[in-house]
Amino acid sequence: MKKPLAVALIGYQFMGKAHSQAYRDVAMFFPQVTPPLMKVLCGRTRQSLQQAARQYGWEEACTDWRKVVQREDIDLVDISTPGNLHKKIAVAAAQAGKHVLCEKPLANNLKEALEMLEAVEQAGVRHMVAFNYRRIPAIQLAKHMIGQGRLGRVFHWRSVYLQDWSISPHYPLVWRLQRSKAGSGAHGDLNSHLIDLAHHLLGDIEEVIGSRETFIPQRPLPENPRKKGKVTVDDATLFLARFENGALGSFEASRMAIGRKNSLQIEINGSDGSLQFDLERLNELHYYNRKDSSRHKGFRTILVTEPTHPYLQGWWPPGHIIGWQHTFVHEVMDLLLAIEKQKPIEPNFLDGVKCQAVLEAVIQSVRRGKWVRPAGLWKRKRRT
Q: Based on the domain organization, do 164 and 259 belong to the same domain?
A: yes
> Can you tell me the mean pLDDT for 218-236?
96
Domain-located, residue 349: no
Q: Based on the domain organization, do 92 and 166 belong to the same domain?
A: no
CATH number of the domain that residue 119 is part of? 3.40.50.720
Average pLDDT, the chain: 96
> Can you tell me the mean pLDDT for 57-72?
97
The residue range of the domain holding 33 is 6-132
Could you tell me what percent of the chain has a pLDDT over 90? 96
- Give the C-alpha separation, 32 to 20, whole Å: 19
- Give the C-alpha separation, 224 to 235, whole Å: 22
pLDDT digits (tens, 9 = 90+) for 191-211: 999 999 999 999 999 999 999
Of the residues 84, 114, 132, the one at which a domain ends: 132
Check whether 378 has a pLDDT greater than 80: no
Q: Based on the domain organization, do 107 and 156 belong to the same domain?
A: no
Domain-located, residue 59: yes
Q: How many domains does the chain have?
A: 2
Domain-located, residue 377: no
Q: pLDDT at position 1, please?
A: 57
Beta-carbon contacts of residue 330 (< 8 Å; ≥ 6 apart):
132, 135, 311
Q: Based on the domain organization, do 124 and 151 belong to the same domain?
A: no
Q: Based on the domain organization, do 18 and 42 belong to the same domain?
A: yes
Q: Based on the domain organization, do 118 and 237 belong to the same domain?
A: no
Q: Based on the domain organization, do 71 and 108 belong to the same domain?
A: yes
Domain-located, residue 34: yes
Confidence band of 384 (pLDDT split at 50, 70, 90): very low
CATH number of the domain that residue 244 is part of? 3.30.360.10
Q: Based on the domain organization, do 175 and 300 belong to the same domain?
A: yes
Query: Directed axis angle between helix 46-56 and helix 14-29, to 10°?
Result: 20
Q: Based on the domain organization, do 34 and 99 belong to the same domain?
A: yes
Q: pLDDT at position 381, please?
A: 42
Whether the Cβ atoms of residue 61 and residue 46 lie closer than 8 Å to each other = yes
pLDDT digits (tens, 9 = 90+) for 121-173: 999 999 999 999 999 999 999 999 999 999 999 999 999 999 999 999 999 99
pLDDT digits (tens, 9 = 90+) for 265-279: 999 999 999 999 999
